[in-house]
Amino acid sequence: MKVRIKRIDPTLPLPQYATAGAVAFDLCARTTVTIAPQATARVPCNVVIEVPPGYALIVASRSSTPVRKGLLKANGVGIIDQDYCGDTDEIQALFLNVSGAPVTVARGERIAQALLIPTPRITWEEVMQFGGDDRGGFGSTGE
């Protein structure tokens, strides 16, 4: 699948899949950002991506980021819509520093990952009840 992309800083690499089996590609920081303890900050990821019709771009933390850096994606995951692709609509990753010290994300550092997922449009069919048995609520499948 070909996807249109624009780099804000063309001296930084295009997003890349780290391995042949990777389902998400890595995003790198365009600038150096220092995040104070217990604070949030946006890390610009250097790209504008034109998400194809029928898809969403999901931005998540790399699995090593919380352990190595003490940073969590502040909003869990970022969802990039199809219409977020103007010339200055740079993808950014919002992080929360959960450590007790300032954390620096260096320019060019792989800090987040992203993947395209299909997003079918749905229509609601409202019903008055469902025929299955109730399962008991939150966390009821195990102890």
CATH of the domain at 70: 2.70.40.10
Q: How far is CA 64 from CA 67, 71, 110, 132, in A?
A: 5, 10, 10, 41
Report yes or no on 8 lying in a domain.
no
Report yes or no on 12 lying in a domain.
no
Report yes or no on 89 lying in a domain.
yes
Given a cut of 60, whether residue 74 has pLDDT beyond it is yes
Report yes or no on 129 lying in a domain.
no
Q: What is the mean pLDDT of residues 62-68?
A: 93
Report yes or no on 86 lying in a domain.
yes
3-state secondary structure of 114: strand
Asked if residues 61 and 78 have their Cβ atoms less than 8 Å apart, the reply is no
Burial degree of 46 (CB within 10 A; 0-12, 13-18, 19+): buried
Instruction: Quick: pLDDT tens for 78-128.
Output: 999 999 999 999 999 999 999 999 999 999 999 999 999 999 999 999 999
Asked if residues 65 and 21 have their Cβ atoms less than 8 Å apart, the reply is no
Given a cut of 90, whether residue 137 has pLDDT beyond it is no
* pLDDT for res 134: 74
Report yes or no on 82 lying in a domain.
yes
Spatial neighbors of 73 by CB under 8 A, at least 6 apart, are 59, 60, 61, 93, 94, 95, 96, 112
Domain that holds residue 49: 21-118
* Among the listed residues 71, 66, 77, the one whose alpha carbon sits nearest the alpha carbon of residue 113: 77
Q: Number of folded domains in the chain? A: 1
Report yes or no on 108 lying in a domain.
yes
Report yes or no on 90 lying in a domain.
yes
